[in-house]
Amino acid sequence: MIKVLVTGANGQLGKCIQDVAKEHNGLSFVFTDYLELDICNEKAVNDFFQANEPLHYCINCAAYTAVDKAEEEKEKAYKINVLGAKHLALACKMYNTTLIQVSTDFVFNGLSSKPYIEKDEADPISVYGETKLQGELAIINILKEHFIIRTSWLYSEHGNNFMKTMLYLAETRNKLSIINDQIGTPTYAKDLALVILNLISNKSNYFGLYHYSNEGMASWYDFAKAIFEITKTTIETHPVSTSEYFTPAKRPAYSVMDKSKIKSVLEIEISNWRDSLINCLKLI
């Protein structure tokens, strides 16, 4: 039996992993969140690994993801996204555990005109993106064998996310203004969860950095319009530019990622973002 530790298990990706875990009979899981395992505390991490060995895999879903708040709470973002990743990497090295780190498209500056590949230079423009990149580098410096999976615009039926925010606002407002000049790919967290668990079940040893999102691209305005169309929600929507909508943190104007590597190496097919959105909305 393969034993898998999941950190940040109460977040939306962690919840989605719990949802699909029952489809993987050869895996047993240890689900933890902050109260069970504070990844910012190196001793707590070491003690947890020792008490629960053997742990064959660790999926790190724990992260500071409040993009705007991170501009003010730099130290907190650093502790979780950098030190937390480092502590897990050190423990994984000591206890022979394979680390699977979840990262983000926000490591890029958004100036590209074509989908980013794994070899493209990272150049984050926000504290969130910078700390996630530093977390990646900490892992790479400690572990020769690891998986880092960058994803984008995660949503699901769990937790707080753009999709659920749009549905809530549609019930409380008559009209919405939504940014239409930031382009990326909405990604259903349950699709990502399945990819990660399949990677484990297949005992893949193609270690390294991967990009994963659903297929296609959209602006936040396109994403919102699709949510309202699929749910037959009537609300007045207006596209606006980033310059008209101030946020403390800068976002990449373009963060679409090329998935050729993960599709080839793991031999998977990836759903279009709109098809996955339909599947998710059926569960709401």
Concatenate the DSSP letters of all residues of 67-80 into one string: TTGGGT-HHHHHII
Q: pLDDT of 84-130, one tens digit each?
A: 999 999 999 999 999 999 999 999 999 999 999 999 999 999 999 99
Q: Give me the mean pLDDT over the 72-83 stretch.
A: 98
Q: What percent of the chain has pLDDT over 90?
A: 97
Judged by DSSP in three states, 116 sits in: strand
pLDDT value, residue 65: 95
Model confidence at 239: pLDDT above 90: yes
Model confidence at 277: pLDDT above 90: yes
pLDDT value, residue 198: 94
Element (H, E) at 199: helix 189-201
Closest CA to 29 of 54, 56, 4, 50: 4
Residues near 215 by beta carbon (within 8 Å), at least 6 away in sequence? 185, 259, 270, 271, 272, 273
Q: Give me the mean pLDDT over the 29-34 stretch.
A: 96
Per-chain mean pLDDT for the chain: 97
Q: What does the longest C-alpha to C-alpha distance in the chain come to? A: 56
Model confidence at 58: pLDDT above 90: yes
Joined tokens for residue 14: 């962690």
Model confidence at 45: pLDDT above 90: yes
The single-letter DSSP state of residue 121 is P
Closest CA to 88 of 63, 65, 64, 58: 58
Sequence letter at residue 68? D
Q: How many CB atoms lie under 10 A from the CB of residue 259?
A: 19
Distance CA 32, CA 55 (A): 13
β-sheet bridge partners, residue 210: 149
Q: pLDDT of 185-223, one tens digit each?
A: 999 999 999 999 999 999 999 999 999 999 999 999 999
Joined tokens for residue 131: 């700390």
Residues near 214 by beta carbon (within 8 Å), at least 6 away in sequence? 185, 186, 187, 188, 191, 270, 271, 272, 273, 275, 276
Kindly list the catalytic residues: 128
Distance CA 245, CA 114 (A): 25
Closest CA to 109 of 182, 216, 211, 185: 182
pLDDT band at 144 (very low <50, low <70, confident <90, very high): very high
pLDDT value, residue 245: 85
Q: What is the CATH T-level fold of the domain 2-160+185-215+256-271, as seen in this structure?
A: Rossmann fold (3.40.50)
pLDDT band at 232 (very low <50, low <70, confident <90, very high): very high
Would you say the pTM of this structure is higher than 0.85?
yes
Distance CA 221, CA 237 (A): 8
Model confidence at 284: pLDDT above 90: no
Find out whether 256 and 217 touch, Cβ atoms under 8 Å: yes
Q: How many CB atoms lie under 10 A from the CB of residue 43?
A: 9
Find out whether 36 and 62 touch, Cβ atoms under 8 Å: no
Q: Give me the mean pLDDT over the 133-144 stretch.
A: 97
Residues near 11 by beta carbon (within 8 Å), at least 6 away in sequence? 33, 61, 62, 63, 65, 158, 159
Model confidence at 242: pLDDT above 90: yes
Q: pLDDT of 59-73, one tens digit each?
A: 999 999 999 999 999
Distance CA 105, CA 211 (A): 8
